[in-house]
Chain A
Amino acid sequence: MAKSHVTTTVNGDEYEFLCDTEQTLLDILRDELLLTGTKEGCATGDCGACSVMLDGCLVCACLVLGVEAAGKSIETVEGLAHGDELHPLQQKFLEHNGAQCGICTPGMLIAAKALLEVEPDPSETEIRYWLAGNLCRCTGYDKIIRAVMAAAEEMREVRS
């Protein structure tokens, strides 16, 4: 079957690719664009390792078809830092050891950023429920939650 020609924007850069109908956005990011920062843990929407922003919405890239990315704007972990300045979430994950093995980290960071965009001052419980779709097997979540709380605090301070 003929492939579809898709133009999309990833982290501010325009990309073009050819896409089989059944290829997911995750397949495209990882295998075609070689943006392997976004991870696959399940490919069924159950682990959150593939979390990306699609036109400002938090989605599992494994549940989005590649062709659906046409004309859209995608944000991945590779786009979080600005120049040599890490995003506060990245910095706090480092300081709090929020990344143990690190496989869940890209998805956690993207999901946490989406949370802080809608709720700059989340409670611990809100963070836990927001991140409930992002599985981590290493940390017991403790240091991840603390890192998100610390980043939220710092971002609030910068804003005020």
Chain B
Amino acid sequence: MTITQDDLRYDPDRKLKVVGTTPIKPDGVDKVTGRAKFGADVHLPGMLVGKVLRSPYAHAIIESIDTSAAEALAGVKAVVTRDDFPELPPGEFRNISCNFMAREKAFYDGHAVAAVAATSERIAKKALKLIVVDYQVLPHVIDVMDAIKPDAPILFEDMVTQGMDPARGGPTNIVQRKEFTMGDADAGFAEADIIVERVFDTKPMHQGYIEPQACVANYTEDGQTELWCCTQGHFIYRTRLAAVLKMDISKIRVTQSELGGGFGGKTMFYIEPVAIALSRKANRPVKITLTRNEVLRATGPVAGTHSRIKMGMTKDGKFTAAEAELYFQTGPFTGSAFVNAPQAMFTRYDLQNIRAVGYEVVSNRPKVNAFRAPCVPQVVFGVEGVIDELAKKIGMDPIDLRLRNAAVEGYETIYGATFGPVGFVETLEAAKAHPHYTAPLGANQGRGVATGFWFNRGGETTASLNITPDGTVTLLLGNPDVAGSRVSICMMVAEELGIGVDKVRPIIGDTSTLGFNRVTAGSRVTFSAGIAVVLSARKAIKILCQRAAMMWDVPEDGVVFEDGHVRPASSNVGDFEPLSIADIAKKATETGGPIAGHAEIVAEGAGPGFGCHIVDVEVDKETGAVKIVRYTVVQDAGKAIHPHQVEGQYQGAAAQGIGWALNEEYIYDQDGRMENAGFLDYRIPVASDLPMIDTVIIEVPNPLHPYGLRGVGEVPLVPTMAAIANAIDDAIGIRPRSLPMSPPKVLKLIEEAAEGRDRA
């Protein structure tokens, strides 16, 4: 009988030896010694330097591009423009293509319009200056709400808003409208004693990974391509590269480097097809490394939003209805994943009546990319603010109000799934019991709480496990490790096989070594690869048992695998010394050949995750500066395979949320050029901005995973900005409803509060 994913259910009685401990990760030493190879660390013989010319205009027709002078410069080996990329039918791939190389129009400051490959960086830069682009500058629009005004500059004359009934034609920047409903929102509001309705704004921010995108492409004369790059998904890069370059998928081999941070921002490529096209023209390897300026102007960002959120509640604190109208900025092309928002924003509360409508809007900014729980934290900022206000109106403790309305097992969600065992109540109770929640506050300080939810994902996943002749294990995985998944995956293998985690050596295979793996995103990898490797290990164990039975000349069902050894199932079978994996591996040639297990699955059963954040802020009433004084993240991990890795996710996401809450935003000048395209002016949190970030890991096992785990990477960003806004409200008595809550904005609120004005 073959073993399948369905056989791998959580076993609460299993005694664990490895899972739950904190071994040093297999990629650790390389990372502390400088050996680890990141995107920009690949050097090939004869390699050229590629550089990209970018539009200085936010919106312009590209009348012509003259590359002749650049091509004539000594040392220039190739120049590419829009003419070097195939035309594609309308759809996802065409959008991707038009984003990495502008066609008729440049849609944002930083949009790529040409690229060169030269023998040195100096020559490449000089060549860019020799390219003559004739632009016809058009009026532009940056902000999402400006873009939907009737007189807004239009990006695409032929755009028709999808999802309107009847379809709305005519000039529009609204790409699509999606509505999600459950129950009857109007009836729900009719039952409410108290209704709060507020408007919120958030600004686009950048994922902020420290490693700029970098790649090396090597196109050979027989039409094969090798590509080294930093990516969250080398398999999906390969699929998309094949589509936009019109190549066979099998002719492209993508090797992922170590990833210097992605957080969603390296799920989509920008430079890779350009490097391949340059390499094809130059017949030499080409390396492109983005500058930080380019990273900020042309990659990411995260969607900015405008939202109207309304919730109704009875006077004893039961939510009766929720409604949302949401606008998402997506850059010039669709792809913001905004449909996550209406489905996730209220999910965790036992609401029966919801109406949530989202609009995706184009404007003259870079095409947005994913960031932890794409499009959800922006709108939860509003939801959790409204809930805080509701709690105040009836004088109820904010955690108690959330507990009163917490969804539990059996809740049918707006997206159709029914909750299995979930840990929201446990998470809230732990937050309430945490000493932080009742610690005294100092002068000018305030405390806020907020909660968040993420679906968590599964998807296509492959793994291959080989038992070497000495009984140690090599593990081939198909997902870039974005922050510690490798060690957790190895720990599950070690647990299965009853060996030490140092006996399991993982590598991430390139795209030619394994079947397709979905991108590392959505908090899917430790969950999905966990299932794939446990399946692989159990298949290998089955073979080990067969081999041992063969060695003892007993029936296969006469042996069992326990603690890294095959033993006779009972004394009736015979009196044999248990065989270790090494004992069996040594004899593999005589018993039928090398021993291995592999899995190719679509991982299913990702359990949703929930978190609750508690934050104390101190507001400087003279400057409006907000300092984070104390921060606690409480979140259900299902099971923390390696608790340090889980804590690292909680802490890192909270810090990103703190940046988003307090500092981070794109600033544009009147011409639509980004004014703060560097780390000096686009300021992410530094060590001295933050306190230690306390974590509490809740473990309500996911029954559909062999070790009970839930993804953890997305949830800890979701509540952050809302928790901070609630804390600021607690400190100054007036609620910020616009991000970032930067000193001038907070100062203005303080002044308004002093004048006794209620912004509502």
Name A residues whose Cβ lies closer than 8 Å to a Cβ of B: 20, 22, 27, 30-31, 34-44, 46-47, 49, 76-78, 80-81, 86, 90, 93-97, 99-106, 109, 124-125, 127-129, 131-146
A97, B210: Cβ atoms under 8 Å?
no
Q: Whose C-beta in chain B lies nearest to the C-beta of A143?
A: B648
Q: Once the chains are docked, how many angstroms separate the CA of A96 from the CA of B28?
A: 11
Residue from B22, B211, B651 in contact with A103 in the complex, judged by beta carbons closer than 8 Å: B211
Assuming A43-B291, A90-B33, A97-B645, is B40 touching A142 (CB within 8 A)? no
Q: Once the chains are docked, how many angstroms separate the CA of A106 from the CA of B483?
A: 16
For B689, list chain A residues within 8 Å (CB). 132
Assuming A131-B687, A139-B651, A145-B692, is B32 touching A93 (CB within 8 A)? yes
Q: Once the chains are docked, how many angstroms separate the CA of A156 from the CA of B661?
A: 39
Residue from B34, B209, B292, B655 in contact with A106 in the complex, judged by beta carbons closer than 8 Å: B34
Q: List 10 A-B contacts (CB under 8 A).
A: A40-B40, A44-B678, A44-B680, A78-B34, A86-B29, A103-B260, A127-B687, A138-B483, A142-B693, A145-B687
For B289, list chain A residues within 8 Å (CB). 40
Assuming A37-B35, A44-B680, is B644 touching A96 (CB within 8 A)? yes
Nearest CB of A to B221, in Å? 27
B184 at the interface (CB under 8 A from A): no
For A34, list chain B residues within 8 Å (CB). 43
Q: Once the chains are docked, how many angstroms separate the CA of A96 from the CA of B207?
A: 24
Q: Once the chains are docked, how many angstroms separate the CA of A146 from the CA of B43?
A: 35
A39, B680: Cβ atoms under 8 Å?
no
* Minimum-distance CB pairs A-B, first 5: A37-B34, A103-B260, A102-B31, A140-B655, A140-B651
Nearest CB of B to A131, in Å? 5
Interface bits B406-422 vs A (CB < 8 Å: 1, else 0): 00000000000000000
For A43, list chain B residues within 8 Å (CB). 291-292
Assuming A44-B679, A81-B33, A105-B32, is B651 touching A142 (CB within 8 A)? yes
Name B residues whose Cβ lies closer than 8 Å to a Cβ of A: 22, 24-25, 27-38, 40-41, 43, 120-122, 207-212, 258-261, 263, 289, 291-292, 482-484, 644-645, 647-648, 651-656, 678-680, 684-690, 692-693
Residue from A38, A41, A86, A100 in contact with B648 in the complex, judged by beta carbons closer than 8 Å: A100
Q: Which of B33, B120, B212, B645 has the largest number of chain A CB atoms within 10 A? A: B33
Q: Whose C-beta in chain A lies nearest to the C-beta of B650?
A: A140
Q: 10 extra interchain contacts, Cβ-Cβ under 8 A, other than A39-B211, A134-B687, A137-B210?
A: A36-B40, A41-B211, A76-B34, A77-B34, A90-B32, A97-B648, A101-B210, A102-B32, A103-B261, A140-B656
Assuming A39-B260, A100-B484, is B210 touching A47 (CB within 8 A)? yes
For B25, list chain A residues within 8 Å (CB). 94, 97
Assuming A41-B679, A77-B34, is B644 touching A101 (CB within 8 A)? no
A47, B38: Cβ atoms under 8 Å?
no
Nearest CB of A to B660, in Å? 12
A102, B678: Cβ atoms under 8 Å?
no
For B24, list chain A residues within 8 Å (CB). 94-95
For A77, list chain B residues within 8 Å (CB). 32-34
Q: Once the chains are docked, how many angstroms separate the CA of A139 from the CA of B692?
A: 11
Q: Once the chains are docked, how many angstroms separate the CA of A95 from the CA of B6?
A: 36
A139, B652: Cβ atoms under 8 Å?
yes
Q: Which of B38, B43, B212, B686 has the largest number of chain A CB atoms within 10 A? A: B686
B34, A46: Cβ atoms under 8 Å?
no
A144, B687: Cβ atoms under 8 Å?
yes
Q: Once the chains are docked, how many angstroms separate the CA of A30 from the CA of B40?
A: 9
A137, B656: Cβ atoms under 8 Å?
yes
Q: Once the chains are docked, how many angstroms separate the CA of A93 from the CA of B29?
A: 9
Q: Once the chains are docked, how many angstroms separate the CA of A140 from the CA of B716?
A: 12
Residue from A36, A124, A125, A136 in contact with B210 in the complex, judged by beta carbons closer than 8 Å: A136
Q: Once the chains are docked, how many angstroms separate the CA of A36 from the CA of B208?
A: 21
A102, B27: Cβ atoms under 8 Å?
yes
Q: Once the chains are docked, how many angstroms separate the CA of A37 from the CA of B686?
A: 22
B208, A137: Cβ atoms under 8 Å?
yes
Assuming A128-B688, A132-B687, A141-B655, is B679 touching A47 (CB within 8 A)? yes
Q: Once the chains are docked, how many angstroms separate the CA of A109 from the CA of B35?
A: 14
A109, B648: Cβ atoms under 8 Å?
no
For A20, list chain B residues within 8 Å (CB). 120, 122
Nearest CB of A to B78, in Å? 20
B688, A140: Cβ atoms under 8 Å?
no
Q: Whose C-beta in chain B lies nearest to the C-beta of A91?
A: B32
Residue from B34, B41, B483, B645 in contact with A101 in the complex, judged by beta carbons closer than 8 Å: B483
For A96, list chain B residues within 8 Å (CB). 644
For B483, list chain A residues within 8 Å (CB). 100-101, 138
For B693, list chain A residues within 8 Å (CB). 140, 142
Residue from A42, A102, A124, A131 in contact with B292 in the complex, judged by beta carbons closer than 8 Å: A42
Q: Once the chains are docked, how many angstroms separate the CA of A154 from the CA of B76?
A: 54
A102, B686: Cβ atoms under 8 Å?
no
B34, A97: Cβ atoms under 8 Å?
no
Q: Once the chains are docked, how many angstroms separate the CA of A121 from the CA of B653?
A: 29
Q: Once the chains are docked, how many angstroms separate the CA of A105 from the CA of B28?
A: 10
For A145, list chain B residues within 8 Å (CB). 687, 692
For B688, list chain A residues within 8 Å (CB). 125, 128-129, 131-132
B38, A137: Cβ atoms under 8 Å?
no
Assuming A47-B679, A77-B33, A142-B693, is B260 touching A101 (CB within 8 A)? yes
Q: Whose C-beta in chain A lies nearest to the C-beta of B651?
A: A140
Q: Whose C-beta in chain A lies nearest to the C-beta of B41?
A: A36
For A134, list chain B residues within 8 Å (CB). 686-687
For A132, list chain B residues within 8 Å (CB). 686-689
A99, B684: Cβ atoms under 8 Å?
no
For B652, list chain A residues within 8 Å (CB). 100, 137-140
Q: Once the chains are docked, how many angstroms separate the CA of A46 from the CA of B40?
A: 19
Nearest CB of A to B490, in Å? 15
For B38, list chain A residues within 8 Å (CB). 36, 39, 102-103
B679, A46: Cβ atoms under 8 Å?
yes
Q: Which of A20, A80, A86, A101 has the largest number of chain B CB atoms within 10 A? A: A101
Q: Whose C-beta in chain B lies nearest to the C-beta of A93?
A: B32
B654, A140: Cβ atoms under 8 Å?
yes
Q: Whose C-beta in chain A lies nearest to the C-beta of B49?
A: A31
Q: Once the chains are docked, how many angstroms separate the CA of A46 from the CA of B292?
A: 10
For B212, list chain A residues within 8 Å (CB). 40-41
For A97, list chain B residues within 8 Å (CB). 22, 25, 484, 644-645, 647-648
Q: Once the chains are docked, how many angstroms separate the CA of A97 from the CA of B22?
A: 9
Q: Once the chains are docked, how many angstroms separate the CA of A80 from the CA of B36?
A: 15
Q: Once the chains are docked, how many angstroms separate the CA of A131 from the CA of B40?
A: 24
Q: Once the chains are docked, how many angstroms separate the CA of A77 from the CA of B35?
A: 9
For B692, list chain A residues within 8 Å (CB). 124, 142, 145-146
Q: Once the chains are docked, how many angstroms separate the CA of A134 from the CA of B644?
A: 22
B28, A94: Cβ atoms under 8 Å?
yes
Nearest CB of A to B292, in Å? 4
For A125, list chain B residues within 8 Å (CB). 688
Assuming A136-B210, A138-B648, A144-B687, is B292 touching A44 (CB within 8 A)? yes
A101, B211: Cβ atoms under 8 Å?
yes
Q: Once the chains are docked, how many angstroms separate the CA of A96 from the CA of B291?
A: 31
Q: Once the chains are docked, how many angstroms separate the CA of A27 from the CA of B122?
A: 12
For B482, list chain A residues within 8 Å (CB). 101
Residue from B28, B261, B484, B687 in contact with A128 in the complex, judged by beta carbons closer than 8 Å: B687
For A137, list chain B residues within 8 Å (CB). 207-210, 261, 263, 652, 655-656, 684
Nearest CB of B to A3, in Å? 11
For B653, list chain A residues within 8 Å (CB). 140
Nearest CB of B to A65, in Å? 14
